[in-house]
A and B are shown apart, each in its own frame.
Chain A
Amino acid sequence: MRSEVSLLVLNRLFIAIITLLIVSFAVFFATSMLPGDTASILLGQAATPEAVAGLRKAMHLDEPAILRFMGWLLGLVKGDLGTSYANNMPVADLIGRRLVATLELAAITTLVSVPLALLLGITSAMLRGSYYDRFVTIFSIGVISVPEFMVATLAVLLFAVYLRWLPALSSINEAHTFFDLLKIYAMPVITLTFVISAQMIRMTRAALIETLKTPYVEMALLKGASRSRMVFRHALPNALGPIVNAIALSLSYLVGGVIIVETIFNYPGIAKLMVDAVATRDLPLIQSCAMIFCLGYLLLITAADIVAILSNPRLR
């Protein structure tokens, strides 16, 4: 059984590397389809043809794009992400600080939302049909239906502008105590939890209800297992696959999809960096960000699959 699992994992890793390659090509072509290039965008309204040509030459943008892309790819193999066109800083430096910020936000949101979603999902599955279950269902559908910029804006209006309990901006630089950190992360984390929990709650509830209907769970009940033992020992392990998958999908959103939250709370994360990079057609930076988003997604999905395999009693 062990060998089967490791084969599966190896197979997954191979597919992941191929996927990364395909994604980087796709991103490269999409970028080169965009009108304008770094030189003309940097010069803006002052861009005369001579000035653009001069700057292009100075920045080595006059070489064929595909060659520059290949150069970047070779550098990547050596672990070098290249240099940003827009401000000549190493891409690794630009991304470093911001990736840490994004991962911090993602980690805190995960710690809050996953336990919460599991708790709500499992309890409403156990009490399905009750008023409590209906309330949770209506609440999660409601939350899914409200766009996050609205949640964020309302939160700012209430907690920052009227009550003045929390800062409207999440500037990490100003956190001196643990309490400050709590204050700074409160609103972005609440907003993101709203956004990603609903999916997880609904998936957990559905998967668990599905398993609770199976004959072996009924058998366990007839053998005299308590309700909680029936759920946690017999049903949950078999429902874990789809649940973990839903969690992974939701969490992958926290790496690249947090642009709205980053914008509203002025949080210096990596999603906004990518948007900036696209605006200045900064190829090395766009590619590096895309790779990181893609890698995050693949890691989460792969982890979900592995957990699903390991938790499957038939494979143990």
Chain B
Amino acid sequence: MTDRITNWTSADDAMVENAIRRGATRRDLLKLMLAGGIAASGAGIILGRASQAVAATPVSGGAFKAAGWSSSTADTLDPAKASLSTDYVRCCSLYNRLTFLDKAGVTQMELAESIESKDAKTWTVKLRKGVTFHDGKELTADDVIFSLKRHLDPGVGSKVAKIAAQMTGFKAVDKSTVEITLADPNADLPTILALHHFMIVANGTTDFSKGNGTGAFVLETFDPGNRSVVVKNKNYWKSGQPYLDSFEFFAISDDNARVNALLSGDIHFAASINPRAMKLIDGQSGFTLSKTTSGNYTNLNMRLDMAPGNKKDFVDGMKYLVNREQIVKSALRGLGEVANDQPVSPANIYHNSDLKPKTFDPDKAKFHFQKAGVLGQSIPVVASDAATSSIDMAMIIQAAGADIGMKLDVQRVPSDGYWDNYWLKAPIHFGNINPRPTPDILFSLLYASNAPWNESQYKSEKFDKMLVEARGLLDQAKRKQIYGEMQAMIAEEAGTIIPAYISNVDALSSKVNGLEANPLGGMMGYAMAEYLWLQA
């Protein structure tokens, strides 16, 4: 940071870089900065720096050390069982998927050369030739079938058993072609296969502690709950990759300790740091921040089948009472993006950007509350640390309500057991949803009439019909239109208020290059190891 500019922090740098990666033009960015009160000359410097970071030529070599935030003895190298960021990072370095999502949220081919279907029901997967596992075995159709079929066995304990259940038939057409038959048409299959759990392992693998995959790195050490070291796979099928000689990953659960380890030079990368620590890093040269917004959100749920949520006016009033900008600014300390009450994030290609967030309007809210006849009652709202920032959000909404005579009684309950005892059950409560790659998965999980996690008990036959229709559509434009309409329906009719998409911020040494945002989450959708390089 040689060019210090007033009121400009590395957090803003991260924002600009993020915008460039998302394909913003120089003009858009200048507008963005002028809006932020920065002189045009200053804006030029930051732009130059940000584009430089994105566009330099990679060099090979170096031992890269990164720290995540959680790890335990349950750490696993079995992709089906992977449940934490730590597992995803390790699996991404050892294995490959058939497809992956790029920074724009578009599905790209990885181990598959092509995935095609005429009716979205029977899919033909052609595999890349000449790919070998770490133990020298060649990748064939049998490995793919074994890897996908495992998820259907309840004894495996797969995290995606429900999503995998739609794959009903597998056939090896020849050595490098697999035919997958679905129970019902689903045009999203290529994107679903980009989920971390669908990594490809060798046929018949029972012991996953060896990490035998086709990925960029070969396992050297793996000690669950402690650390893992992987070294460059010299026969990796992507030419030139990976750049790093070795990649060590472990977790430092204490936020301050993680940042201190980065500042003292013990590690190159500290994943997911809290906003308080950002200020600490901002004042130091030699470190940068990378902000990713990938669709994780905390939402306020009002059950439409119970009082007071069964009065439409109460729900509408609440939507006007939530000050989204203030929630981003103070509850999330700026680390988030204002959302429009629907679960498909801006990082997703199907996001409906024409759907504007509801404005904060206490008068309108009061009008609706009066109509619903709830003014003067005390309405309980359940919040907990289990749902990120929900307590702060509840306080903000409560204060806004107090100003117009709407009494909200915030009940703070413990994290342990929150998801079993309060979530989906209490009349008004907070939830927290992790990113999912397709609108279909989000809608089926959260808003269809028979959805297992229908947080507000939203029921709409029209919505269910559209969901099935869009699922089988191979016509992209038509799909986008239907999904856009469905997002508007959720924002208007459902009892879920989604005020913001929560950003994740990773901190890294300036020596680290090649980090990009990814819709699947921080650390480049956890797959950073094969793309990063260290400045010599």
Contact = CB atoms under 8 A, between A and B. Distances in A.
Interface of A: 35-36, 39, 41-46, 48, 50-51, 53-55, 57-58, 84, 86-87, 89, 94, 97-98, 153, 156-157, 160-161, 164, 167-169, 171, 173, 263-266, 268, 272-273, 276-277, 279-280, 282, 285
Given A35-B420, A87-B75, A276-B73, A51 B257 contact: no
B14 interface: no
Interface string B317-333: 00000000000000000
A44 B266 contact: no
Contacts of A164: 264-265
Contacts of B265: 164
Contacts of A173: 227
Interface in B388-445: 416-417, 419-420, 434
Given A48-B162, A84-B73, A87-B224, A161 B260 contact: yes
Interface stretch (B152-160, B463-471, B501-509): B152-160
Closest 7 CB pairs of A and B: A54-B154, A58-B155, A160-B264, A86-B74, A168-B264, A276-B72, A55-B157
Interface stretch (B176-184, B235-243, B247-255): B247-255
Nearest to A97: B223
A158 to B, nearest CB: 11
B72 A279 contact: yes
A276 B260 contact: no
Contact of A45 (B223, B224, B256, B419): B419
A277 B266 contact: no
A277 B420 CA distance: 21
A171 B251 CA distance: 12
A89 B224 CA distance: 10
Contacts of A265: 257
B73 A282 contact: yes
B155 A266 contact: no
Nearest to A50: B154
23 contacts: A35-B420, A36-B417, A36-B420, A43-B157, A43-B159, A44-B159, A45-B419, A51-B161, A54-B157, A58-B155, A86-B73, A86-B224, A87-B73, A87-B75, A89-B209, A89-B224, A168-B264, A168-B266, A169-B257, A264-B254, A266-B257, A276-B72, A282-B74
A169 B223 contact: no
Nearest to B76: A87
Interface in B49-103: 67, 72-76, 81, 83
Interface string B254-279: 10110011011111000000000000
A171 B226 CA distance: 10
B250 A266 contact: yes
A35 B417 contact: yes
A242 B147 CA distance: 63
Nearest to A86: B74
A4 B265 CA distance: 59
Given A42-B81, A42-B157, A266 B416 contact: no
Nearest to A34: B416
A89 B225 CA distance: 12
Contacts of B416: 35
Contacts of B155: 54-55, 57-58
Contacts of B74: 41-42, 86-87, 276, 280, 282
A171 B154 CA distance: 38
Taking each of B73, B159, B263, which has the highest tally of chain A beta carbons within 10 Å of its own beta carbon?
B73
Nearest to B162: A48
Contact of A58 (B73, B154, B226, B417): B154
Nearest to A87: B224
A167 B263 CA distance: 10
Contacts of B250: 266
Contacts of A41: 74
Given A54-B155, A86-B74, A157 B260 contact: yes
B162 A55 contact: no
Contacts of B72: 86, 276, 279-280
A282 B75 CA distance: 13
Contacts of A153: 256-257, 260
B330 to A, nearest CB: 26
B268 to A, nearest CB: 13
Interface of B: 67, 72-76, 81, 83, 154-157, 159-162, 209, 223-227, 250, 252-254, 256-257, 260-261, 263-267, 416-417, 419-420, 434, 452
Contacts of B264: 156, 160-161, 164, 167-168
Contacts of B266: 160, 167-169
Contacts of B223: 97, 268
Contacts of B76: 87
Given A156-B260, A266-B257, A272-B225, 17 more contacts: A46-B159, A58-B155, A84-B73, A87-B73, A94-B224, A160-B261, A160-B263, A160-B266, A161-B264, A167-B264, A168-B263, A169-B267, A264-B254, A266-B261, A268-B223, A276-B73, A279-B72
Contacts of B420: 35-36
A278 B75 CA distance: 15
Given A87-B224, A167-B264, A168-B260, A48 B452 contact: yes
A285 B267 CA distance: 30
B161 A45 contact: no
B529 to A, nearest CB: 19
A39 to B, nearest CB: 8
Contacts of B73: 84, 86-87, 94, 273, 276-277, 280, 282, 285
A263 B67 CA distance: 13
A217 to B, nearest CB: 49
Given A51-B154, A55-B154, A42 B83 contact: yes
A238 B338 CA distance: 73
A264 B75 contact: no
Nearest to B229: A173
A51 B420 CA distance: 16
B149 to A, nearest CB: 15
Nearest to A268: B226
Given A164-B265, A169-B266, A280-B74, A45 B434 contact: yes
A268 B154 CA distance: 33
A42 B155 CA distance: 13
Contact of B261 (A54, A97, A169, A277): A169
A233 to B, nearest CB: 48
Interface centre among B83, B160, B434, by most A CB within 10 Å?
B83
B465 to A, nearest CB: 25
A53 B252 CA distance: 33
Contacts of A273: 73, 225
A94 B162 CA distance: 32
Contacts of B252: 169, 266
- With most chain A CB atoms within 10 A of its CB, the pick from B156, B161, B226, B263 is B226
Contacts of A171: 227
A51 B267 CA distance: 38
Contacts of A42: 74, 81, 83, 157
A57 to B, nearest CB: 8
